[in-house]
Amino acid sequence: MKGLKCVKCGKTAKPARLRLEGAVVAGWRCACGEEYLDTEAVEQLLAIRKLASEDLNAKITRQGNSFAVRLPMTVFKAFGLRDKEKLMISIDASNPKAFTLTLPR
Ligand SMILES: [Zn+2]
């Protein structure tokens, strides 16, 4: 992400991780203190928050010698996933009914 010209002082605001309602969102912060949120990052945060209140299901399908986890398109889009993208699997040995998929990026 490149710098952004600050509307308040005219200097170049630098890419930064900004706090927004308890979440961290991409944006820019200027030396004068002015902050600018990345519109796409905010839209993604809102889409993810909307999904968090929905009942979502994934489906497992066989693909050769392995299995694919089919995700709803709304999840795919909200998280900006890409075809053939790899996710990390985290397993909590004390919980045999759950595992977590995490984006490595
Ligand atoms: Zn400024």
Closest CA to 39 of 4, 12, 82: 4
Chain segment 62-75, per-residue pLDDT in tens: 999 999 999 999 99
13 CA → ligand 1 middle, Å: 6
Q: Which residues of 54-92 are buried (b: 16+ CB within 10 A; e: fewer)?
A: eeeeeeeeeeeeeeeeebeeeeeebbeeeeeeeeeeeee
9 CA → ligand 1 middle, Å: 4
Residues 16 and 34 in one domain: yes
Q: What is the CATH number of the domain that holds 98?
A: 2.10.260
pLDDT band at 94, cuts 50/70/90?
very high
Question: How many distinct structural domains can be found in the chain?
Answer: 2
Is pLDDT of 105 > 90?
Answer: no
Give the residue carrying structure tokens 């694919």: 68
Residues 46 and 65 in one domain: no
Percent of the chain with pLDDT over 90: 94
Supply the range of the domain harboring residue 83. 59-102
Is pLDDT of 37 > 80?
Answer: yes
Is pLDDT of 21 > 90?
Answer: no
66 CA → ligand 1 middle, Å: 53
1 CA → ligand 1 middle, Å: 17
Residues 69 and 47 in one domain: no
17 CA → ligand 1 middle, Å: 16
Query: Residue 104 has what pLDDT?
Result: 85
5 CA → ligand 1 middle, Å: 8
The stretch 3-14 carries a mean pLDDT of 96
